[in-house]
Amino acid sequence: MRALKWAAIGLVSAGLAVALPALAQEAGELPNVQWSWEGPFGTYDLAAAQRGFQVYSEVCSNCHSMKEMHYRDLTGLGLTPEQVKALAAAVTVPLGVDDQGNPKEGPATPASQFRSPFPNEQAARAALNGALPPDLSEIVNAREGGPNYVYGILTGFADAPPDVKMQNGLYYNKMFPGHQIAMPQPLHDAQVTFADGSGNSIPDEAHDVVTFLAWAADPNMTQRKQIGWRVVLFLVIMTGLTYAVKRKVWSDVEH
């Protein structure tokens, strides 16, 4: 029992040491949205993620790349291979060089990377007043606060309070550290029209696109949790069996 007590103290302390730095990093006030993928049983709301992909395609992808993504990955959102093929074919991407050594372009295939809006960092900065839009492939993992932070940015645009002096070319955002962000407000009410008639207020659009981005950052989550339950169940049974064996083995020894 004493051993267990010490082990518990150790674990709690380790947990504290890990948790405290996270608390120390302050940004704006994080919204607390209920996401469908939270918790050990949570899965992605695929309908919302598909709508989110539409938001990304129509809005975000004008400036933000998703270099780690390929069109084939979209089958994970519930699209059929035919749908993915059609969807990719509508996008023009660079296809290396032709026989004369000149760069060539053409329709994407499911194996193509998501089209990047700018060929390189310099082109992006030149077009966007010096700002570089971050790649969105792992943005949900790459920010303290994860999906709530990204949601907070997308819904956090407002008029600057009178006492804040805005720098040229920056926009006021309640979530962003420092509150001055180079991105103009990307989402507006009714900006995107969804085929399934879902709501398209700013919070709706932000919710859907964050669902898409969370899926893109961690596309294996559902499979991971499914395997996890089997592994945990197996180990619980193994622990019970092993403990029974241990008790049996030790039953003839005073210890």
Partner 1 sequence: MAGQHEPSTFTNPVINWIDTRLPVFTMMQKEYAVFPTPKNFNYFWNFGALATVQLIIMIVTGILLAMNYQPNTAMAFDSVARIMRDVNYGWLLRYIHQTGASMFFIVVYVHIFRGLYYGSYKKPRELLWMIGVVILLLMMATAFMGYVLPWGQMSYWGATVITNLFSAFPIVGKPIVTWLWGGFSVSDPTLNRFFSLHYLLPFVIVGVVFLHVAALHVVGSNNPLGIDVKSPQDTVPFSPYYTAKDSVGICVYLLVYAIIVFFVPHLLSDPNNSIPANPLQTPPDIVPEWYFLPYYAILRSMPNKLGGVCMLFGSILILFVLPWLDTSPVRSARFRPVFRWLLRLWVVSVVVLGVCGAHQPLGIWVLLSRICALYYFGFFLVILPLLGKFERPLPLPESISAAVLRNRGGGALPSAAPAQSMEKA
CB 222 within 8 A of CB 59: no
- The contact mask relative to partner 1 for 72-111 (x = CB under 8 A, - = no) is -x--------------------------------------
Choose between 2 and 165: whose C-beta lies nearer to partner 1.
2
Among 85, 125, 143, 174, binds partner 1 (CB under 8 A): 143
Residue 242 found at the interface with partner 1 (CB under 8 A): yes
Applying CB under 8 A, among 50, 54, 137, 200 the residue interacting with partner 1 is 137
Residue with Cβ nearer partner 1 (127 or 231)? 231
DSSP the chain: -HHHHHHHHHHHHHHHHHHHHHHH---SPPP----TT-STT----HHHHHHHHHHHHHTGGGT---TT-BGGGGGGGT--HHHHHHHHHTSEEEEEE-TTS-EEEEE--TTSBPPPSSSSHHHHHHHTTT--PPP-TTTTTSSTTHHHHHHHHHT-B-PPPTT--PPTT-EEBSSSTTSEESSPP---TT-S--TT----SHHHHHHHHHHHHHHHH-TTHHHHHHHHHHHHHHHHHHHHHHHHHHHHHHTTS--
Where in 160-179 is the site for partner 1 (CB under 8 A)? none
| Cβ proximity to partner 1, 39 vs 197, nearer residue | 39
Which of 68, 128, 185, 201: binder of partner 1 (CB under 8 A)?
A: 68
Residues 12-31 as x/- pattern, contact with partner 1 by CB under 8 A: -xx-xxx-xx--xx------
How many residues make contact with partner 1 (CB under 8 A)?
55
| Cα–Cα distance, 107 to 55 (Å, whole number) | 21
Confirm or reject binding of residue 227 to partner 1 (CB under 8 A).
Answer: yes
Q: Which of 141, 158, 189, 193 binds partner 1 (CB under 8 A)?
A: 141
- CA R_g for the chain: 24
- 255 near partner 1, judged by CB under 8 A: yes
* Separation between Cα atoms, residue 122 and residue 252, nearest integer Å: 76
Among 95, 142, 160, 182, binds partner 1 (CB under 8 A): 142
Which residues of this chain interact with partner 1, rule CB under 8 A?
2-4, 6-7, 10-11, 13-14, 16-18, 20-21, 24-25, 40, 67-68, 73, 134, 137-138, 141-144, 146, 217, 219-220, 224-225, 227-229, 231-232, 235-236, 238-239, 242-251, 253-255
